[in-house]
Amino acid sequence: RGAGIFACDGFDVFANKNDTLGFTDSGMGVRSVVIPKIKVGVSQDGTAGNTELFMAVWDRIIRDGRYRYYDWTIKVDPDAVLLPWRLRDHLASHVGEKIYIVNCDKYPMSPNFPMMYGALEVFSQAAMAAYAEGSWRCRRGPPWQGG
């Protein structure tokens, strides 16, 4: 109790269909935020090739605009354990900065470092604003297809 995304100041659960997921400890109903169904393949490192899926999620977050009300936007995998109060304590001295917390330092000598996989990704409000302003470049930039 009191852990996970539902212990955050705000949260969303994304899915490709409209669904009622249950209730928070405080009795608030939780419904999915619908995004298009997107095929997930296998990336060059053998993990899920879900770039396009996450781009759809980030597009929806940006369109909604609620990220502007929070210091941090956090992507948490469904099977991850999140202790929001601990993360909040660790991030407190960085509020207002434009930062993305690298979530994986595996293979630091790889030309693809830092890789974008991991159960937790943390973006400051300023980083989200920067992504919102320039996200169009991601679709026509590096060859992310399949990654």
pLDDT given for residue 85 in this prediction: 92
- pTM, two decimals, is 0.78
Tell me the C-alpha distance between 52 and 44, whole Å. Answer: 15
How far, in whole angstroms, is CA 74 from its chain's centroid?
A: 5
Alpha helices for 31-134 (secondary structure H): 51-64, 84-91, 125-134
pLDDT given for residue 62 in this prediction: 94
Identify the residue whose tokens are 């300023």. Answer: 126
Q: Which amino acid is at 17?
A: K
Give tens-digit pLDDT for 32-50: 999 888 888 887 767 777 7
Q: With a cut of 50, list the residues of the chain below it in pLDDT.
A: none
pLDDT given for residue 52 in this prediction: 81
